[in-house]
């Protein structure tokens, strides 16, 4: 019975780590979208050439960050799927697989 309770607790920890990872990614994406919108507003509101160039550079940097964030989110989704599969396929060696799944998710989580 203790092994069953321990396993359930470990599984819960893995799934909570997945939730934390997704929440952090979503929060980051929302912050990036807000910064992009603000930069676009500044670009529209400014008419001076140098300010427009600066705003365009900012928008390009935000677009680059957005691409990087998308790649990170794809990695997180892939690692989450791998973690689920490790847990689902591992009854005889479950504790070891749960630890592997946790490590994979921690690796994919945003810093």
DSSP 40-100: HHHHHH--SHHHHHHHHHHHHHHHHHHHHHHHHHHHHHHHHHHHHHHHHT-STTHHHHHHH
Domain assignment present for residue 77? The answer is yes
What is the tally of structural domains in the chain?
Answer: 1
Query: According to the per-residue pLDDT averaged within each range, which of 39-48, 55-64, 98-107 is highest?
Result: 55-64
DSSP state of 35: H
Domain range spanning residue 96? 72-111
Domain assignment present for residue 12? The answer is no
* pTM (whole model) above 0.95: no
Rounded CA-CA distance 94/76 in Å is 22
Using one digit for the tens of pLDDT, what is the confidence trace for 51-85? 777 777 887 888 888 888 888 888 888 887 777 77
Domain assignment present for residue 28? The answer is no
Is the model's pLDDT at 8 over the cut of 70? yes
Domain assignment present for residue 18? The answer is no
Domain assignment present for residue 103? The answer is yes
């Amino acid at each position: 019975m203790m092994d069953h309770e321990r396993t359930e607790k470990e599984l819960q920890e893995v799934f909570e780590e997945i939730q934390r990872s997704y929440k952090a990614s979503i929060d980051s994406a929302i912050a990036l979208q807000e910064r992009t919108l603000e930069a676009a507003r500044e670009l529209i509101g400014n008419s001076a050439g140098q300010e427009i160039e600066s705003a365009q550079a900012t928008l390009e940097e935000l677009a680059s960050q957005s691409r990087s964030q998308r790649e990170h989110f794809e990695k997180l989704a892939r690692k989450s799927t791998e973690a689920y599969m490790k847990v689902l396929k591992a009854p005889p060696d479950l504790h070891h697989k749960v630890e592997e799944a946790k490590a994979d998710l921690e690796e994919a989580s945003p810093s």
